[in-house]
Structure 1
Amino acid sequence: MPAPTNAKGVFTICPTPFDDALKVDTESIKSLVDFLLDTGITGLAILGFLGELHKLNNAERRLVTDTFIKHTKGRVPVWVGVRAHGITGAIEQAQEAQDSGAAAVFAAPLDNASDALLFDYYKAVADSVKIPVVIHDFPDSFGTEIRPEVVARLGKEGGVNMIKMEEPPVGQKISRIRDLAGDEAMKIFGGLGGMFFLEELQRGAVGTMTGFAYPEVLVEIYNRFAAGDHKGAAAVFDRYCPLIRYEFQPKIGLALRKYIYQQRGAIRSNAIRSPGMRIDALTIKELEATVARVGLSTTARGRQVVKA
């Protein structure tokens, strides 16, 4: 079984870039990697829910994985999403990611699975690879609740020692998992667009895995908090909350992020495959006004200055 990981910090959930013809854009993958590394993130997470994994065929999934990992060249770890209808398919995806050089995989749960099946599923995936397996706990999107008792058991008995936890209210669940599992058996990452990042850190999360298109903001919050400047971390969080909130809107959040990444020069097109909502001119106007209100730019290239 994989040894517990010491991963922490900000892992950016990456969108999968498409060109205007909706083909995978490998050149934009490369420019996105370079852009994100410049913001100071700890790692990349690809083919998550916002990576449109469910809209890719198998060959495209392997192409996206290989391109991200090869271009990153070990500069930061790359974690790869797994989502399948059964244990066999999940194992296949996890092993493919491992063979491509992934540092870890984060696996969505099986649909409507019982506690016993969830334990067997995650343990089987962990037993099948030598890299860490991360639980992806996002019931609003996956429809499956993973109870803290199951998480704790996986940490103690199942060889699964990390979770990306996205079930509100996040604070109570983080505390419950820590009480049951202990910090060594289960490392907790937040998500949900960074909407509760400060509270997640205060409750004992070791970082976040999310797709906010200004990751330098989350990096600044994490770095201040980790250095003991909790007041400064809170000030940064409070300043940028309007943008974090606006960008994480259900159904349209991916379109907002891809638009920002395109405007910031990270990708060439903001194309989204169906099903998925697009943004209109009024929404773009609202988004750009919110970005300006917190003191950031939609068009400036490179890492932007983050202030408290």
Structure 2
Amino acid sequence: MTALLHTPDSLATTQGVFTICPTPFAADGALDLASIASLVDFQIEAGVSGLAILGFLGESHKLSQEERSQVIRAFIARAGGRVPVWVGVRALGIAGAIEQAREAEALGAEAVFVAPLDTTSDAVQFDYYPAVAEAIGIPVVIHDFPDSFGTELSADLVARLGREGGVGMIKMEEPPVGQKITRILDLAEGSMRVFGGLGGVYFLEELQRGAVGTMTGFAFPEILVRIHQHHAAGDLAAAAATFDRYCPLIRYEFQPKIGLALRKAIYMRRGVIACDAIRSPGMRIDPITLRELEATVARVGLSLAHRGIYAID
């Protein structure tokens, strides 16, 4: 196939922490647009480089099309250009993905992060991602999360998408993350930039392997921001010390199946959102788990009762 005319120039210097934001709901399950506003303000105060919405954490698969549009509008309006907003895309085919991507662009998104098509070959994925990119005027970011999507994207495919397909950034969440990051960057010949994810559990190693930041939903984003700041300044010892100090909390919060409930509970108790409701299907936390969470937060020197952003060393 021919190379794309559109290249993701706007991503050439993108780095830092992009928070994967949850979608706030009221206790009755309705969208809570007021909490979107407070969540955006909190993230910007924490120093994040951008916001990513309607990913897996954003419960996008539980929203109607109209609700999806409302959520995009609310996040972009509140961000008001202070930070970029990227919108998740996941569909069963190319037409559906293009429709979602075009809507995100029309509503003001600065990029889309696109899940792969289900259980398809590298050849099909190589046609898919450039097709979406050609259909819009904003960059496409690959979302590589096989544990949730059930589709593996090889390092060779990702690198080729960078070299030949005009898709130059990936949110990479396939362990072992270090080896895959290294192989992608080696093969891509400077055409691919990598964001990590997976709750920040491997954030230090991702940065050391050449990732430019992380896209994850950790509900203490100021910690990840500080780790990245230390690393970007060349103070690798400080980056490691900050990561090591808070690793027990990063690990506990990123539990499969219940991680979303933990994150919403943290945000609610920090006063960022009004309610920690999630839509079905989804696992809720029980009183014992909440006590464990509180104890883990306290063990790293923080408190769920604290309002505002922590000053992280």
For the aligned pair, the TM-score class normalised by the smaller chain equals over 0.9
For residues 28-63 of structure 1, what are the alpha-carbon distances to aligned partners after superposition, in whole Å with 9 as ceiling and x for unaligned? 000100111110110000000000011111000000
| 2:24 corresponds to which of 14, 17, 38 | 17
Q: Is the 8 A contact 1:84 1:110 kept in 2?
A: yes
| 2:165 corresponds to which of 151, 158, 166 | 158
- The letter for the 1-side match of 2:53 is I
- The letter for the 1-side match of 2:311 is V
What is the correspondence of 1:53-64 to structure 2 with a 5 Å cutoff?
53-64=60-71
What is the correspondence of 1:183-202 to structure 2 with a 5 Å cutoff?
183=190, 185-202=191-208
1:199 is displaced (CA, Å) by: 0.1
| 1:275 corresponds to which of 267, 270, 281 | 281
For residues 91-142 of structure 1, what are the alpha-carbon distances to aligned partners after superposition, in whole Å with 9 as ceiling and x for unaligned? 0000000001001000000100101110111010000111110000000000
| 2:218 corresponds to which of 200, 212, 219 | 212
1:301 is displaced (CA, Å) by: 1.1
| 1:83 corresponds to which of 69, 79, 90 | 90
**Residues in 2 aligned to 1:306 and 1:3: alpha-carbon distance in whole angstroms:** 33
1:233 is displaced (CA, Å) by: 0.1
TM-score, normalised via structure 1 length: 0.98
Q: Which residue of 1 aligns with 2:308?
A: 302
1:299 is displaced (CA, Å) by: 1.5
1:306 is displaced (CA, Å) by: 1.6
**Residues in 1 aligned to 2:132 and 2:157: alpha-carbon distance in whole angstroms:** 15
Q: Which residue of 2 aligns with 1:247?
A: 253
**Residues in 1 aligned to 2:189 and 2:255: alpha-carbon distance in whole angstroms:** 33
TM-score, normalised via structure 2 length: 0.97
| 2:113 corresponds to which of 106, 127, 143 | 106
What is the correspondence of 1:97-176 to structure 2 with a 5 Å cutoff?
97-176=104-183
For residues 141-171 of structure 1, what are the alpha-carbon distances to aligned partners after superposition, in whole Å with 9 as ceiling and x for unaligned? 0000000111011101111000000000000
- The letter for the 2-side match of 1:128 is A
Q: Is the 8 A contact 1:198 1:233 kept in 2?
A: yes
For residues 262-294 of structure 1, what are the alpha-carbon distances to aligned partners after superposition, in whole Å with 9 as ceiling and x for unaligned? 001110000000110000000000000000100
Q: Which residue of 2 aligns with 1:74?
A: 81
Q: Is the 8 A contact 2:230 2:238 kept in 1?
A: yes
Which blocks of at least 5 consecutive residues in structure 1 are unaligned? none
**Residues in 1 aligned to 2:282 and 2:69: alpha-carbon distance in whole angstroms:** 22
Q: Which residue of 2 aligns with 1:3?
A: 8
For residues 224-256 of structure 1, what are the alpha-carbon distances to aligned partners after superposition, in whole Å with 9 as ceiling and x for unaligned? 000000000000000000000000000000000
**Residues in 2 aligned to 1:277 and 1:3: alpha-carbon distance in whole angstroms:** 37
Shift >6 Å, 4+ stretches: none
For residues 189-236 of structure 1, what are the alpha-carbon distances to aligned partners after superposition, in whole Å with 9 as ceiling and x for unaligned? 000000000000000000000000000000000000000000000000
Q: Is the 8 A contact 2:227 2:243 kept in 1?
A: yes
Q: Is the 8 A contact 2:86 2:110 kept in 1?
A: yes
Q: Is the 8 A contact 2:16 2:225 kept in 1?
A: yes
**Residues in 2 aligned to 1:305 and 1:47: alpha-carbon distance in whole angstroms:** 29
1:182 is displaced (CA, Å) by: 2.4
Q: Which residue of 2 aligns with 1:232?
A: 238
Give the root-mean-square deviation of aligned CA atoms: 0.6
**Residues in 2 aligned to 1:2 and 1:153: alpha-carbon distance in whole angstroms:** 14
Q: Is the 8 A contact 2:120 2:151 kept in 1?
A: yes
**Residues in 2 aligned to 1:129 and 1:71: alpha-carbon distance in whole angstroms:** 23
1:73 is displaced (CA, Å) by: 0.2
Q: Is the 8 A contact 1:2 1:130 kept in 2?
A: no
**Residues in 1 aligned to 2:189 and 2:48: alpha-carbon distance in whole angstroms:** 26
1:305 is displaced (CA, Å) by: 2.1
Q: Is the 8 A contact 2:142 2:171 kept in 1?
A: yes
Q: Is the 8 A contact 2:8 2:140 kept in 1?
A: no
**Residues in 2 aligned to 1:50 and 1:211: alpha-carbon distance in whole angstroms:** 7
| SS of match in other structure, 1:51 | coil
**Residues in 2 aligned to 1:113 and 1:136: alpha-carbon distance in whole angstroms:** 15
Aligned-residue sequence identity (percent) comes to 68
